[in-house]
Amino acid sequence: MTKKYSMTVFGCQMNERDAETLRGFLDQLGYTETERVAEADLVIMNTCAVRQKAEEKVYGLIGRLGKLKEQNPGMLLAVCGCLPQQEKAAQKIRKKYPFVDLIFGTHNLAAFPELLQRVQSERGPVMEVWDEAGEVAEDLPVMRRDGVKAWVNITYGCNNYCSYCVVPYVRGRERSRRPEAILAEIGKLVAGGSKEVTLLGQNVNSYGKDLSEKIDFPGLLERVDRESGLARIRFMTSHPRDFTEKLVAVMAEGNNICEHVHLPVQSGSNRILELMNRGYTREHYLGLAELLRNYLPGCALTTDLIVGFPGETEEDFQDTLALAEEVRFDAAFTFLYSPRRGTPACNMPEQVPAAVKKERFARLLEVQNRRGLERNRALVGCVVEVLTEGPSKTDPNVLTGRTRTNKTVNFSGRSVGPGTLAEVEITAAQTWSLLGRLVP
Ligand code: SAH
Ligand code: SF4
């Protein structure tokens, strides 16, 4: 009988991409994936530590799985990813949940098969978390579930140390992959039928700074556009400090680079941006938004915003509201500031009370939802290119896909298969998605 595993992935695309590597390893080891946790021989939790809520979700799940394991003592439980990459959290898991069989961090992902082997031979819990990330490991196995869209890392880690953020501590220093390795991975994906690739990094704009060869992110993007044969190329995440006109020009001249930039601004107040250690001003950001719209008038601009950073006054918050009004983001992920142990902001005085954060959050959401809906409404009546993903989760008679600007479109018409680039007329707009009909 083949062994079965079940995996829960928390957090961002980096974790999703790591999960694809874990799936690749498990496939080589003869495991198959199951959605039914109760029948799994191995349960993996690939965790996130970016906000307190993400952490709490993980602890809740570990607790529930512990109960399941009581009925099925042979079941192996593994916790990996960003949470145990922090020493204190790893120790906490070890002490509070002694039934967890394997704990490892983001830096020793490549050692997963050996670690699993040790769990099986030592018959006791194994915990191994490396402090340093080491060299970029190429040629790790990968198993992707989506045949149409894929994520490809171009950098790992982050050097920015934004004062609220745990990522540099749990993902290590920034390391770029060699362009040949990136192009080879994309080449395989294209040969396998993938239509869209998102180039992935915490700050894609600093790509190549640590490489011996002379290449920067616009240069890489140009090469991927010219050489890959992909229908669509995306990239994430851009940092406003390192985002250049050269990049916008490459986007404008490229054939298959999608007209969407995710450019987290975090706050509209210069005072708060400085406390956040973001390295740019509100004026600089507004300049970038203008630049983008001058070169690429149809381009979508999305962002991340944090509400209630320590010391944020009503006036600072007003600056954020005004910025959201002015920029008119297509979409924004809005977060309540969450103190993270070990980050400078965690110890800053004047932490904002929860009730104030919540109240500001609601006001920001109102502005953003209104602005986002306006942006979407402007598309009603237009015909756009949609990359079909398949039937919608909520209604199997409706197809779903995304525009080049990364907006979800649910559309009707004759059935077309996943991976089809469809011409769709937009018939209605919602805050987070569009409705449409296939052009006959
Ligand atoms: N590298 C990307 C993504 C980092 S994490 C970037 O720089 O944009 C994704 C988002 O989570 C961040 O953009 C930020 O808005 C949010 N975030 C990170 N740490 C946070 C914290 N401590 N509290 C609230 N939101 C946080
Ligand atoms: Fe975190 Fe800042 Fe790095 Fe993004 S750029 S991962 S917010 S430290």
Nearest ligand 2 atom to the CA of 304 is 7
How high is the pLDDT of residue 292? 97
Q: Is 208 exposed, middle or buried (0-12, 13-18, 19+ CB in 10 A)?
A: buried
CA–centroid distance, residue 160 to ligand 2 (Å): 6
Domain 3-128: CATH class, spelled out: alpha beta
CA–centroid distance, residue 30 to ligand 1 (Å): 37
CA–centroid distance, residue 165 to ligand 2 (Å): 6
Q: Which residues line ligand 2 (CB under 6 A)?
A: 158, 160-162, 165, 167-168, 202-203, 239
Q: Is 380 exposed, middle or buried (0-12, 13-18, 19+ CB in 10 A)?
A: middle
CA–centroid distance, residue 148 to ligand 2 (Å): 28
Same fold, 146-258 and 261-378: yes
What is the β-pairing status of strands 149-153 and 3-9?
unpaired
The CATH architecture assigned to 261-378 reads: 2-Layer Sandwich (3.30)
CA–centroid distance, residue 201 to ligand 2 (Å): 10
Q: Which residues line ligand 1 (CB under 6 A)?
A: 50-51, 164-165, 167, 202-203, 237, 239, 264, 266, 304, 306, 335, 337-338, 340
Domain 383-438 has CATH 2.40.50.140: yes
How high is the pLDDT of residue 123? 80
CA–centroid distance, residue 340 to ligand 2 (Å): 13
Nearest ligand 2 atom to the CA of 278 is 2
How high is the pLDDT of residue 396? 87
Nearest to 50, CA basis, from 24, 15, 92? 15
Residue nearest to atom 1 of ligand 2 (CA): 165
Starting from the CA of residue 332, give the closest ligand.
1
Starting from the CA of residue 276, give the closest ligand.
2
Give the span between the Cα atoms of 387 and 196, in whole angstroms: 9
How high is the pLDDT of residue 297? 94
Centre a 10 Å sphere on the Cβ of residue 423 and count the other Cβ atoms it contains: 13
Residue nearest to atom 5 of ligand 2 (CA): 160
Chunked into runs of 10 residues, the chain (440 residues) has average pLDDT values of 94 95 97 95 97 96 96 95 96 96 96 95 89 86 93 96 96 95 96 96 96 96 97 97 97 97 98 98 98 96 98 98 98 97 95 97 98 98 97 92 98 92 98 95
pTM, full prediction: 0.95
How high is the pLDDT of residue 149? 95
CA–centroid distance, residue 16 to ligand 2 (Å): 18
CA–centroid distance, residue 400 to ligand 1 (Å): 28
CA–centroid distance, residue 169 to ligand 1 (Å): 13
How high is the pLDDT of residue 38? 93
Residue nearest to atom 15 of ligand 1 (CA): 304
Ligand 1 pocket: which of 165, 169, 198 to mutate (most atoms within 8 A of CB): 165
User: CA 427 from chain center: how many Å?
Assistant: 29
Q: Name the E strands within 204-289.
A: 232-236, 260-262
Phi and psi angles of residue 70, each rounded to the nearest 5 degrees, phi first:
-60, -35
Residue nearest to atom 1 of ligand 1 (CA): 202
Cis-peptide into 431, omega within 30 deg: no
Give the span between the Cα atoms of 155 and 242, in whole angstroms: 15
**CATH fold label, 146-258:** Transcription Regulator spoIIAA (3.30.750)
Domain regions of the chain by residue span:
3-128, 146-258, 261-378, 383-438
